[in-house]
Amino acid sequence: MTPPETASCPVHQNFDPLGDSYVADPYPIHSAVRDETPAFYAPSIDMWVVTRYDDIQKILMNPGAFSAQVGQRPVFPLSGDAQAIIKDGFRAYPVMSDCDPPRHTRIRRHNQKGFSARRISVLEPKVWAKATELVDAIEPGEVDLVSALTYPLPAYMIFTFIGFPDEDMDMLKSWCGNRIAFSWGRPSPDEQRDIANNMVNYWAYCEEFVAKRAANPVDDFTSDLIRIHQQDPDALSIADITNVAYGLSFAGHETTTSFTGNAIRQLLANPEQWKALCADRSLVPQAVEEMLRFDSSIPAWRRITTQAVNVDGVDIPAEAKVLLLLGAANRDPGHFAEPETFDIQREDARAHLAFGKGIHYCIGAPLARMEARIALDLLAQRAPHMKLIDGQDFDFPANISFRGPRSLRVRWPN
Ligand code: HEM
């Protein structure tokens, strides 16, 4: 869909979220486009891009005009091979993040119970225990905190929460591979085929796992959903539950790995803030909010219009794909004072849109916050003198929505 270039529809030929400079650091580009226009068309991705806090907030609160259905669709057409693999073995359908009411309302209502603050707080001792075990295993010297801590902690927690057995974790992790590239990046045909095969394996695993829980429910989140199904099969079907298990294991995993990686990097790159945090660990919850505002792991998310709309003077047609720059909203000077300053004591940081807003507000936010809080608290206690390894290049996967360093090398003190 290519719009005519008119006064009410600016076109930004150079905006490319898969370009090297954007992938390395999207924030200067966010700031430039946000200052220039509230919305524009980007031919590189065939999407309208919305840049400002108030507009993005209004869109998130208007699911009737802005459908979530496009959230997980591949940005670029898939190869014939990948399409055939998916068609044969991948039976997932939208249940939450890419689903609209009324199905979304029905499924979310039942899932919400499992993510209440009370249910999540029960997990807190387990997160502490796992984080402590991982940190205890770190040897003095150079260490990659992604592989040592920020990858295994959320993976272990979400898999345990869903109920996947410990012994399957390595296999599950190996299937997660480059999944982000499939729906949000531009993988080569070979990569598409590999990812599609992994998705089929993962899906088959989820079907088998949910069938096992249906036959023999235990004490985990999936079994809670099975009990709801057993009481009222119309409330949640077995297929709905399989989709939830598949979707959650992905949503609850790399989002938090990437966020904690960004957070630790920002803190260590701002040593006075890290020092303040280590001196007073009661600042950690507030600091987590500022890190979500300043450098979250989902700096952009998608919608598709169901009707022609006008965003702050810019006309957007019906069935237009829309990219919401959450990261640009979180640094909008119209909303946050001195938005480019990273300040862990910022009082209004929690007004960020890092978890979205409205009916799709991130269901895992309490778990993500808790994991990040515990990881930072533990690092501040155990390694207040750790430092980033100088001169390292941070490598970020090229895609339109997810951002986090693949590795984060630090000098771990004696
Ligand atoms: C720091 C980590 C995380 C960030 C930045 C994040 C961010 C987001 C964002 C931006 C959305 C989309 C909101 C929208 O479409 O309006 C979302 C939705 C969602 N997130 Fe998260 N998320 C994180 C962690 C998690 C975790 C740990 C889980 C699961 C345990 C999770 C599960 C979900 C689900 C299921 C949805 C869809 C909710 C719905 O559509 O009703 N997320 N998240």
Q: Ligand 1: distance of its center to the CA of 119 in Å?
A: 17
| pLDDT tens, residue by residue, 335-349 | 999 999 999 999 999
Q: Ligand 1: distance of its center to the CA of 68 in Å?
A: 13
Read off the tokens for 406. Answer: 């693949």
Among 66, 157, 225, 255, name the best residue to mutate to test ligand 1's pocket (greatest count of ligand atoms within 8 A of Cβ): 255
| Residue 7 identity (one-letter amino acid) | A
| pLDDT tens, residue by residue, 357-376 | 999 999 999 999 999 999 99
Ligand 1 within 6 A of CB of 367: yes
From 59, 57, 15, 104, select the one nearest 307 (Cα to Cα): 59
Least confident window among 94-103, 110-119, 309-318, 343-352: 110-119
- Domain spans of the chain, in order of start: 20-412
pLDDT class for 1, splitting at 50, 70, 90? low
Secondary structure (DSSP) of 232-259: -TTTS-HHHHHHHHHHHHHHTTHHHHHH
**Tell me, what's the pLDDT at 118?**
77
Length of the chain in residues, anyone?
414
324 phi and psi, to 5 degrees? -95, 115
pLDDT class for 4, splitting at 50, 70, 90? low
Among 322, 362, 369, 374, name the best residue to mutate to test ligand 1's pocket (greatest count of ligand atoms within 8 A of Cβ): 362
- At 48, is the secondary structure helix, strand, or coil? strand
| pLDDT tens, residue by residue, 138-195 | 999 999 999 999 999 999 999 999 999 989 988 888 888 788 999 999 999 999 999 9
Closest CA to ligand 1's atom 19? 362
Question: Dihedral sign, CA of 209, 210, 215, 220?
Answer: positive
> Are the C-beta atoms of 253 and 224 separated by less than 8 Å?
no
Distance CA 128, CA 370 (A): 10
pLDDT class for 84, splitting at 50, 70, 90? very high
> Are the C-beta atoms of 273 and 344 separated by less than 8 Å?
yes
Ligand 1 within 6 A of CB of 68: yes
Secondary structure (DSSP) of 193-222: HHHHHHHHHHHHHHHHHHHHHHHS--SSHH
Average pLDDT of the chain is 95
From 198, 236, 356, select the one nearest 292 (Cα to Cα): 356
From 392, 387, 106, select the one nearest 271 (Cα to Cα): 387
Distance CA 364, CA 114 (A): 10
Three-state SS for 313-368 is CEEECCCCEEEECHHHHCCCCCCCCCCCCCCCCCCCHHHCCCCCCHHHCCCCHHHH
Ligand 1 within 6 A of CB of 260: no
Distance CA 29, CA 22 (A): 7
- At 270, is the secondary structure helix, strand, or coil? coil
Distance CA 223, CA 397 (A): 35
**Tell me, what's the pLDDT at 114?**
83
Q: Ligand 1: distance of its center to the CA of 29 in Å?
A: 24
| pLDDT tens, residue by residue, 219-271 | 999 999 999 999 999 999 999 999 999 999 889 988 999 999 999 999 999 99
Among 56, 355, 357, 402, name the best residue to mutate to test ligand 1's pocket (greatest count of ligand atoms within 8 A of Cβ): 355
CATH 1.10.630.10 correct for 20-412: yes
| pLDDT tens, residue by residue, 279-325 | 999 999 999 999 999 999 999 999 999 999 999 999 999 999 999 99
